[in-house]
Chains A and B, each alone.
Chain A
Amino acid sequence: MSFLYFSFGVLAILAIASAIVTIASRNPVRSAFALIFHFFMLAGLYLTLNAQFVAVIQVLVYAGAIMVLVVFVIMLLNLSNEERLSERFDFRKTIAIFFGIAFAIEVVLAIFIPGTFKNNLHPDSVKIGTAQEIGKALYSNFLVPVEVVGILLLVAIIGAIVLAKRKLE
């Protein structure tokens, strides 16, 4: 039990720290690598929730595919460090502070409202995290959404080719 708390604490702190580095770094390449680290930490958090298959797919799809694409585009564009924009920055900062205050209120409410949530993992949680159970659900109850997502990915591929082409003939 204490090992679970320890691993959750370490993973959560590293996830928050890498998220902050992602949005605070002036260098886009550093942001991208912090985000990749963040995805690995999230995969570890999924493992503490007995969701093994989601954890593996998280590393494969996000760290393996999406972030490779992002890093590729950053390298292709050869971006320099982002310089601050002083005159228009105040409005954005105001909104950011508003979000921070809203979040602080949310945290206080979440802590002081007596908990109605369950404190224990469901006994079935080990079973439903396996690839077998997820595959069964995907191809029985969720068959139509799977097909629709397939069409969506096809549209995304065609759209990306059309947008990235220099000239349409």
Chain B
Amino acid sequence: MQTIPLEFYLLLSAVLFVIGAIGVLTRRNAIVVFMSIELMLNSVNLTFVAFSAYMGDIAGQIFVFFIMAVAAGEATIGLAIVLALFRLKQSVYVDEANSLKL
């Protein structure tokens, strides 16, 4: 059963992770930063599923479900924080949320 080498999946997931990291570092809009974090979480999920399929171990796919649950929790809390920030500042730009800066 000849299939795609595992390295291809690892490389793809590394590319997606770096794209997500660049998004977190360069964007100002808090919602887009949040979506970039989702990109990074999903690239890790891809690694988990790839290793799970190539090693024949089910634990990788189980962990994907836990990561999805944590991402769902993060989505609700993060968007609630964005809403609260918008109410306070009338903007969702992360560089304007500097009230705690000295």
Asked whether B97 is an interface residue with its Cβ less than 8 Å from the other chain, the reply is no
Count of chain B residues near A, Cβ 8 A: 72
Number of interface residues of A (CB under 8 A): 84
A110 engages B72 (CB within 8 Å): no
Q: How far is the CA of A58 from the CA of B74 in the complex (A)?
A: 16
* Contact among A49, A66, A92 for B26, CB-based, below 8 A: A92
Residue pair B76, A103 in contact (C-beta under 8 Å): no
Q: Which residues of B contact A12 (CB under 8 A)?
A: 8, 12
Interface SS of chain B: helix
Q: How far is the CB of A62 from chain B (nearest CB, A)?
A: 7
Inter-chain contacts of B74 with A (CB < 8 A): 156
Residues of A within 8 A of B57 (CB): 128
A122 near B69: Cβ-Cβ < 8 Å: no
Q: Which positions 125-169 of chain A face chain B at CB distance < 8 Å?
A: 125, 128-129, 133-134, 137-138, 142, 145, 149, 152-153, 155-157, 159-161, 163-164, 166
